[in-house]
Chain A
Amino acid sequence: MKACGIVHKYGDNVDTDVIIPARYLNSSDPAELAGHCMEDIDTDFVKRVQKGDIMVANKNFGCGSSREHAPIAIKASGISCVIAETFARIFYRNAINIGLPIIECPEAAEAIEAGDTVEIDFDSGMIYDKTKGTEYKGQAFPPFMQKIIESEGLINYINENK
């Protein structure tokens, strides 16, 4: 499986309150949530984002609230993968559980810039910055998590295994 798209770049500690502000949590509809994704730190994101685009951020992405609405909003906005130096732990679990691909890679998170075209090969964990002509090796998932991802989320995994 591969993803390829234009990069939207953010800094450290992007919290789930800015990914999807609580004032919109009276809805759980993915399309409605996507319409407000990132609006408190990047008002134009929703207008700019194209299907397949990639989000890149520095450390502790997705910190704060456990709201699964955050990865749901990102996925529904069209983002195909989030690359970060590190992810906050609840966001990490939530992304895997709902089938939003994420990769930890400090080097890629540092070097890749907004507007770059990036391709990710999920089988090998390789990240290619096509604009810069550079490549990075992302951290592979442990086999257990790989199985959840292959099942396209925790629900299917449990249906298949329990």
Chain B
Amino acid sequence: MGMTMTQKILAAHAGLESVEAGQLIEANLDLVLANDITGPVAIHEVEKLNKKTVFDKDKVALVPDHFAPNKDIKSAEHCKCVREYAKEHGITNYFEVGQMGIEHALLPEKGLIVAGETCIGADSHTCTYGALGAFSTGVGSTDMGCGMITGQAWFKVPSAIKFILTGKPSKWVSGKDVILHIIGMIGVDGALYKSMEFTGDGVANLSMDDRFAISNMAIEAGAKNGIFPVDDKTIAYMEEHSKKKYTVYEADEDAIYDAEYTIDLSKLEPTVAFPHLPENTKTVSEAGEVKIDQVVIGSCTNGRIEDLRTAAEILKGRKVADGIRVIVIPATQAIYMQAIEEGLVQIFIHAGAIVSTPTCGPCLGGYMGILAAGERAVSTTNRNFVGRMGHVDSEVYLASPAVAAASAVTGKISQPSELGL
């Protein structure tokens, strides 16, 4: 029986010729990740294990990014816990403030994950690395901790849904619009326990940053992972960023899928997810008049250089609407530096936005842009649950960097065409 791309990677890491959906396996891990929120819980748990040493100090990544730079004393204690563990165990890939970035932008950029590998991370958006053709999935702290010590994790082999992407997206339609469209179509549990496998000739028309955004939000459809085939763009990215050897897996012709959807990228429009679920999608044309108070451009979904370039293209020579707070957060130090060198940061500041050091901050209502009761934000982040960015009576509208930037200028949910772009 044919296997999906995900099943092939899992079989190879479990030392098996083949696997099938529903099978329980133990797979070897190539990378295990935690952050400053999930790391301390994992570190506390693994103290109870008989074995104390990590399985491979080069294959563990610890990234304080959520409440770092430390937002308060308790967060400082958490970051300290992770820092001290990393030092004690000689963890190669610990990233201190100054080198740190948002984990899911940072790890691919540092070349720590490549095609054909398996990765678990104690962060639900670990599924981001599917963009590189790797199997990666989010887990909790105990799974992460046990993976960090044993180098293995148990999985139930997932079945899959196939998304055949065709055509080329129009100028202001990005990977974010593609994934919001898909979540709107299948719902927040539409891919529960399953893989989302993206394929079709439209993939070639998506940049790596588009693909990272799409795989990143696979979890918002309930998926275990969201994976892309490896093509010239993937190989170019990996060769630029990594020295690791990669392995290309392709789904078998006769692989079995629970469902198949064909999406013509050329037909998609800028899309926004209304509160309080990512599945509540509308095109911006259908959104009506929604006045806003804040715009956030950043996060593990959309804090990459192309996201910032798109936002800057719209904000260049324009001003943020009166009374709107606009927060731009480059996802890593390298992206931040590149944005400075390309003049993007100047454009943002001239427009009336602020630019922050890398942090997850506002995405999860941590700090740096908390909403008061009744306030609304257009955000390029990934969740718009009740209270996600602040008060339970505040609202988050998820959108692309293009829509976020256009909305910053008009003060209401807008798309670039409304600015004559």
- How near does chain A come to B396, taking the closest CB pair, in angstroms? 11
- How near does chain A come to B298, taking the closest CB pair, in angstroms? 16
Query: How far does the alpha carbon of A26 sit from the alpha carbon of B367 in the complex, in Å?
Result: 11
Asked if A68 contacts B383 (CB within 8 A), the reply is no
Among B66, B222, B383, point to the contact of A89 (Cβ < 8 A).
B222
- The residues in A between 64 and 114 inclusive whose CB is less than 8 angstroms from any CB of B are 64-69, 71-72, 86, 88-90, 93-94, 97-98
Asked if A13 contacts B143 (CB within 8 A), the reply is no
Asked if A64 contacts B124 (CB within 8 A), the reply is yes
A64/B385 contact (C-beta < 8 A), A23-B365, A90-B140, A155-B142 known: yes
Among B138, B145, B149, B189, point to the contact of A60 (Cβ < 8 A).
B189
Asked if B364 contacts A65 (CB within 8 A), the reply is yes
Which B residues touch A71, using CB under 8 A? 140
Q: How many residues of A contact B (CB 8 A)?
A: 40
Interface string of B274-306 (1 = CB under 8 A from A): 000100000000000000000000000000000
A41/B386 contact (C-beta < 8 A), A26-B67, A90-B139 known: yes
A154/B146 contact (C-beta < 8 A), A26-B72, A26-B75 known: yes
**Which residue, of B49, B66, B366, B387, has the highest number of chain A Cβ atoms within 10 A?**
B387
Asked if B388 contacts A155 (CB within 8 A), the reply is no
Q: Is A49 an interface residue (CB 8 A)?
A: no
Which B residues touch A18, using CB under 8 A? 385-387
- How near does chain A come to B309, taking the closest CB pair, in angstroms? 29
A144/B74 contact (C-beta < 8 A), A13-B189, A21-B387 known: no
Q: How many residue pairs, one in A and one in B, have C-beta atoms under 8 Å apart?
A: 133
**Which residue, of A26, A69, A142, has the highest number of chain B Cβ atoms within 10 A?**
A26
Q: Is A50 an interface residue (CB 8 A)?
A: no
Q: How many residues of B contact A (CB 8 A)?
A: 52
Which B residues touch A41, using CB under 8 A? 386
Q: Is A47 an interface residue (CB 8 A)?
A: no
- How near does chain B come to A151, taking the closest CB pair, in angstroms? 12
Interface string of B62-90 (1 = CB under 8 A from A): 00001100011011001000000000000
Q: Is A27 an interface residue (CB 8 A)?
A: yes
A153/B124 contact (C-beta < 8 A), A17-B383, A63-B189 known: no
- The residues in B between 103 and 141 inclusive whose CB is less than 8 angstroms from any CB of A are 122-124, 126, 138-141
- How near does chain A come to B81, taking the closest CB pair, in angstroms? 9
Asked if A144 contacts B385 (CB within 8 A), the reply is no
Among B71, B145, B146, B386, point to the contact of A26 (Cβ < 8 A).
B71
Q: Which of B36-44, B196-204, B244-252, B397-405 contacts A (4 or more CB under 8 A)?
A: B36-44
Q: Is B264 an interface residue (CB 8 A)?
A: no
Q: Is B45 an interface residue (CB 8 A)?
A: yes
- How near does chain B come to A13, taking the closest CB pair, in angstroms? 6
Q: Is A59 an interface residue (CB 8 A)?
A: yes
Query: How far does the alpha carbon of A142 sit from the alpha carbon of B27 in the complex, in Å?
Result: 18
**Which residue, of A18, A158, A162, has the highest number of chain B Cβ atoms within 10 A?**
A158
Among A17, A66, A67, A88, point to the contact of B388 (Cβ < 8 A).
A17
Among B50, B74, B365, point to the contact of A22 (Cβ < 8 A).
B365
Query: How far does the alpha carbon of A18 sit from the alpha carbon of B150 in the complex, in Å?
Result: 32
Which B residues touch A155, using CB under 8 A? 45-46, 48-49, 142, 145-146
List residues of B whose CB falls within 8 A of some A CB: 24, 37-38, 40-41, 44-46, 48-51, 66-67, 71-72, 74-75, 78, 122-124, 126, 138-143, 145-146, 149-150, 154, 156, 188-189, 192-193, 219, 222, 224, 277, 364-366, 383, 385-388, 392
**Apart from the given pairs A89-B224, A94-B141, 18 other A-B contacts in the complex at a CB distance below 8 Å:** A18-B387, A23-B365, A26-B72, A26-B78, A40-B392, A64-B124, A65-B123, A66-B122, A68-B41, A69-B37, A72-B41, A89-B193, A94-B142, A94-B143, A154-B146, A155-B142, A158-B150, A159-B49
Can you list 27 A-B contacts (CB < 8 A)? A18-B385, A21-B387, A22-B364, A25-B67, A26-B67, A26-B72, A60-B189, A60-B222, A63-B222, A64-B124, A66-B140, A68-B38, A68-B41, A68-B140, A72-B41, A88-B222, A90-B139, A93-B139, A93-B143, A94-B141, A94-B143, A97-B143, A142-B156, A154-B142, A155-B46, A155-B142, A155-B145
